[in-house]
Structure 1
Amino acid sequence: MLIGVPKEIKNHEYRVGLTPASVRELSAHGHKIMIETGAGAGIGMDDAAYQRAGAEIMADAAGLFAAAEMIVKVKEPQPAECRMLRPGQILFTYLHLAPDPEQAKLLMDSGCIAIAYETVTDERGRLPLLAPMSEVAGRMAVQVGAVSLQKANGGFGVLLAGVPGVPPGRVAVLGGGVVGTNAARIALGMGADVTILDKSIGRLAQLDDLYGPHLKTAFATTEAIEEAVFHADLIIGAVLVPGASAPKLVTRAMLGQMRRGAVLVDVAIDQGGCFETSRPTTHDDPTYIVEGVVHYCVANMPGAVPRTSTFALAQATLPYALKLADHGWKAALRADPHLLAGLNVAEGRIMHPAVAAALGETLHDPGRMLAA
């Protein structure tokens, strides 16, 4: 198969879809890889590194999209990229379609086969291609939140670690999944007073076993969320409903009862955000203030640490990319129901139930298409 890897064009996105090691592996399976020139610069990999691994360097994205049978990216295609896709072409990347009807329409219009990293599952119902970036984002959330808490950045002026005689900052983490667990780990490591809230008693028990009395846990009722949020210096939104829009756990009305200078970090912003007042921001302009509360809502947080992020992501996606390339998309999806769960759009139709529900579109049965 002819596989193309374009240079990412989202604001301050420095990751790349394949590492040279991934290129070498795919090449060993007999596939031809094209890399847009400069695509790996953000992770310290120049064109020569990709050429040594067996890739051909392409001068521009237009030529790459026109030639490739499968496009492997990191972030959702921007409108200009969507318009370069064609019927039957495979797109393998993060999509996050639930809050993005424009992208969904462009992908449907293209006729491409769009497989989303974030809805691929494993045998235990986990999201193996989302997990690496969730780990990065969860750990970064505390880091960026701590900076945002500085007075010069609009924050309350609290040091999360505290000092002798002065209590540490309070951190509330909404969601005990991969993002929340990693956020709690870093916040605890900094010495903060951390509470994590989740709807699963089983998950809270696991976190209690993992961190013991150093971590406070609470079942996520409306009252418990309000109690945690109203007293926190830093609130991290870490909820996820695979493929669907994130629930709004913190309303605009709740902001009025939060302390001025508190910080919200919305890691769920790719799926629409879990704070009612959230809107996507960029690394160029990452925060804004509503009713005295600082909002950090960067939609591609891991893009700020592209080397770590790319290598973590590439090692997770490579086995699935090999399946698609080795067998073709129809055979690969028929053989692997977990990869099939990643199918969001195909031949102009929505194929994922959560995406269809979020967008108000008709859900089509992928089984019928694969049987044809």
Structure 2
Amino acid sequence: MKIGIAREDRKGENRVVMQPSEIRSLTGKHQVLVEKDAGLGVGIENKLYERAGARIASKKDVYACPLVVKIKEPIESELKLMRPDSAILSMLHLRSRPHLAKLLQKYKINAIAMEGIRDQFGTRMIEALHETGYLGMLKGFELWGKDPSKAVVKVMGYGNIAQGAIQAAARKFAKVMVLNKRDVNEMEKHIPGTDILVDGIYWPYHLRGKVYLVKKNMLKLLKPGAVIVDLVANPAGKSPIETVRPTTLSDISYKVDGVIHTACWGWPGLDPVNISKRYSIQVLTILTKIANKGLNDLPDFIKSAYYEVGK
């Protein structure tokens, strides 16, 4: 199979989906094109990909491949470069991005959602959930601007993402309180005295934009200079915290009523080197199966994440 490894072009985004060590595992059987300078953001020069057996190519040539691979979801200008009935493997989050599903239909591009590929136990196979929480918490301390050991941190949730935040806060010797399901329904009682409030809960789709656990009028209950860190904000901005909207790596925070908010859509991008290494190993397992089998004979666990045009 001819595979195109695309460069991440979003502002502030330095990650790369595949490293030379994993590319080398593919080039024995498959032709791999790597977009020029795709790895520079994490210190990987073009010649290292060439030594691994890949060909350095232009954006146009990479997106003309039958299968394009990248981390972030494609934008319209990228889809325009792809050939009808070709495919892209990337993060998609189509439920939060209905306009992207329409663009895939418009340009007749099939897609495999990285976040939808799960093992037999339902666990995501391409993910950096714990790292998301950890990095988001560190950014929260940075925005707070004081000694982390003096902070009162309250974390909503106890899933993988929340646990990453809890670990980061504990390592900074902050006073950490984990809010369980009962607690989050009584936020007016738990917000007072909080320096950094962290949202790490999965908010059901049917509640998004309709029910808020933290309403705008509760911000005044936070301590002066407080920070809200939303680790699970989605592109549609439907957080259980009313004043949260998604931010980006290049514009990561804003204020509402004196409270700093950060809700980065792409927290793992704060550690591009280590996250790129992690994704590369995870993606190789999936990409090898796709390349060896072909798009018409995908294993069931990949097929379940396959968005096929017209179906």
TM-score for both structures, normalised by structure 2: 0.91
Residue aligning to 2:228: 264
User: How far off is 1:95 after superposition?
Assistant: 1.2
Aligned to 1:301: 267
Displacement of 1:143 after TM fit?
1.0
CA contact (8 A) 1:280 1:298 kept: yes
2:285 is the counterpart of 1:319: yes
Residue 188 of structure 1 corresponds to 170
Instruction: Tell me if the contact between 1:98 and 1:244 (Cα under 8 Å) persists in the aligned partners.
Output: no
2:302, 2:158 → 1: CA distance?
A: 25
Secondary structure of the corresponding residue to residue 269 of structure 1: coil
Q: 1:249 to 1:35 in 2, by over 3 A?
A: farther
Q: Compare the two structures and name the one with the higher helix fraction.
A: 1
Matched, 1:250 2:214: yes
Mapping for residues 24-103 of structure 1, pairs under 5 Å: 24-28=24-28, 30-58=29-57, 60-66=58-64, 68-103=65-100
Can you give the 5+ residue segments of structure 1 that lack an aligned partner in the other structure? 151-157, 163-168, 200-218, 350-372
Which deviates more from structure 2 when the two are superposed, residues 118-127 or residues 12-21? Answer: 118-127
Q: Partner of 1:154 in structure 2?
A: none
How many Å apart are 1:71 and its aligned residue?
0.7
Deviation at 1:317, TM superposition (A): 1.6
Whole-Å Cα distance in 1 between the matches of residues 9 and 70 of structure 2?
11
Q: Deviations over 1:177-198 (max 9, x none)?
A: 1111111011011111112234
Deviations 1:16-41 (A, max 9, x none): 1211111111113x111000110000
Asked if the contact 2:79/2:109 (under 8 Å) is kept, the reply is no
What is the CA–CA distance in structure 2 between the aligned matches of 1:175 and 1:322, rounded to whole Å? 35
Q: Which amino acid aligns with 2:147?
A: L
How far apart are 1:46 and its partner, in Å? 0.6
- SS of the aligned residue for 1:81 comes to helix
The residue matched to 1:95 in structure 2 has which SS?
coil
User: How far does residue 99 in structure 1 lie from its aligned partner after superposition?
Assistant: 2.6
Q: Is the 8 A contact 1:119 1:243 kept in 2?
A: no
Q: Distance in 1 between matches of 2:122 and 2:193?
A: 34
CA change 1:198–1:83 in 2 (3 A) is farther
Q: 1:250 to 1:117 in 2, by over 3 A?
A: farther
Matched residues, number: 307
Contact residue 117 and residue 125 of structure 2 kept, 8 A: yes
- Cα RMSD over matched residues? 2.2
* Aligned-partner residue type, residue 149 of structure 2: A
TM-score, length-scaled by structure 1 = 0.77
Q: Is the 8 A contact 1:11 1:283 kept in 2?
A: yes
CA distance in 1, matches of 2:283, 2:183: 33
Alpha-carbon separation, structure 1, partners of 2:77 and 2:214: 34
Q: Deviations over 1:205-237 (max 9, x none)?
A: xxxxxxxxxxxxxx44411x4433333211122
Aligned partner letter, 2:119 = D
Change in CA separation of 1:129 and 1:230 when aligned onto 2, cut-off 3 Å: farther
Q: How big is each residue's C-alpha offset from its partner over 1:124-152, in whole Å with a ceiling of 9 and x where there is no partner? A: 2222212xx222221111211111112xx
- Does structure 1 residue 237 correspond to structure 2 residue 199? yes
Q: 1:123 to 1:35 in 2, by over 3 A?
A: same
Task: Give the whole-Å Cα distance in 1 for the aligned partners of 2:270 and 2:130.
Answer: 14
Q: Distance in 2 between matches of 1:242 and 1:119?
A: 17
Aligned twin of 2:189: 227
Please tell me whether the aligned partners of residues 174 and 180 of structure 1 are also in contact (alpha carbons under 8 angstroms).
yes
Q: CA deviation at 1:74?
A: 0.7
**C-alpha distance 71-220 of structure 1, shift in aligned 2 (>3 A):** farther
> What is the CA-CA distance between 1:348 and the residue it aligns to?
4.1
Once the two structures are overlaid, the 10-residue window that deviates more, 273-282 or 38-47, is 273-282
Give, in whole Å, the separation in 2 of the partners of 1:22 and 1:183: 30
Change (3 A) 1:297 1:221: closer
Q: Does 1:177 align with 2:143?
A: no
Counterpart residue type for residue 182 of structure 1: G
Aligned sequence identity (%): 30
| Equivalent-residue separation in structure 2 for 1:341 and 1:6 (angstroms) | 24
| Change over 3 Å in CA distance of 1:70–1:244 after alignment to 2 | farther
